[in-house]
Amino acid sequence: MDLKEMAAAEAVKLVRDGMVVGLGSGSTASIAIRLLGEKVRNGWKLVGVPTSRDSEELARSVGITIDELKNHPTVDLTIDGADEVDPDLNLIKGLGGALVREKIIAAATKYEVIVVDGSKLVDYLGQKAPLPVEIVKFASESTMHRLKRFGCVPVLREKNGIAFITDNGNLIADCRFQKIDDPKKLEADLNLVPGVVDNGLFVGLAHRVIVASKDGLKTLERKS
Ligand code: 5RP
């Protein structure tokens, strides 16, 4: 079993028959979705609330019943990935481009479980990954210019040589910071910039992080 599989399988052990489960995005969360599909094929009744179109498509293909958040204002448990995890379990997410829906569903979730391999653990956010910021298309150059004032270098994300478009029809500016000292403040401040929809800082949302490394599994719990 590879590291992502180990972490995903451990998270799926927390799911119970009858739960409303938030379905994360990215390669590690996708493994969890496939494992949840096995549970459904064994007779479990789960309702999946997907964080992206890709996750929705995958979940449907493995037999998971899908529903919208409006019908389940509270999600029992979400399994999602992350790009960086700091010692306080704050996260950078969104290298897969699903940060807005992921954050909406995380905020509606009673127990948010993050599954990563050990390479995602960092001493401080910004150590390895850029911070994805979802911005509207209108006047995106001006929004990018304002983002620079936060001390980062924003780069418009592209896929196959053209601008990457999110499931919400927006753009992503990947903002490279040297070091993010105060994730809570930066998360709030970035969202005040006109044209910014949301950013990939997830502060105080993860309850548990399951880390798989060559030494085995480690579970990190939020302190408060
Ligand atoms: C998508 C995400 C992903 O969860 C994050 O990029 C981790 O992906 P992976 O498990 O493939 O490393 O935030 O928006």
Concatenated DSSP letters of 139-160: THHHHHHHHHTTT-EEEE-EET
Q: Are residues 170 and 104 in the same domain?
A: no
Q: Are residues 138 and 186 in the same domain?
A: yes
> 168-191 pLDDT, tens per residue?
999 999 999 999 999 999 999 999
CA of 82 to the centre of ligand 1 (A): 5
Q: Are residues 145 and 109 in the same domain?
A: no
| Phi-psi category of residue 43: left, alpha or beta, with phi > 0 → left and psi -120 to 50 → alpha | left
Task: Kindly indicate the confidence band of residue 77, based on its pLDDT and cuts at 50, 70 and 90.
Answer: very high
CATH number (domain holding residue 158): 3.30.70.260
Q: Do the Cβ atoms of 27 and 81 come closer than 8 Å?
A: yes
pTM of the entire structure?
0.97
> 1-59 pLDDT, tens per residue?
799 999 999 999 999 999 999 999 999 999 999 999 999 999 999 999 999 999 999 99
Query: Given a cut of 90, is residue 159 above it in pLDDT?
Result: yes
Shortest-distance Cα residue to atom 8 of ligand 1: 26
| Domain boundaries, position 70 | 3-122+203-221
CATH number (domain holding residue 94): 3.40.50.1360
CA of 27 to the centre of ligand 1 (A): 6
Q: Are residues 19 and 69 in the same domain?
A: yes
Q: Are residues 118 and 23 in the same domain?
A: yes
Q: Are residues 84 and 113 in the same domain?
A: yes
Shortest-distance Cα residue to atom 10 of ligand 1: 28
Q: Are residues 59 and 135 in the same domain?
A: no
Q: How many structural domains compose the chain?
A: 2
Amino acid at residue number 102: E
Catalytic residue among 10, 56, 102, 187: 102
Q: Are residues 149 and 164 in the same domain?
A: yes
CA of 145 to the centre of ligand 1 (A): 26
Q: Are residues 60 and 101 in the same domain?
A: yes
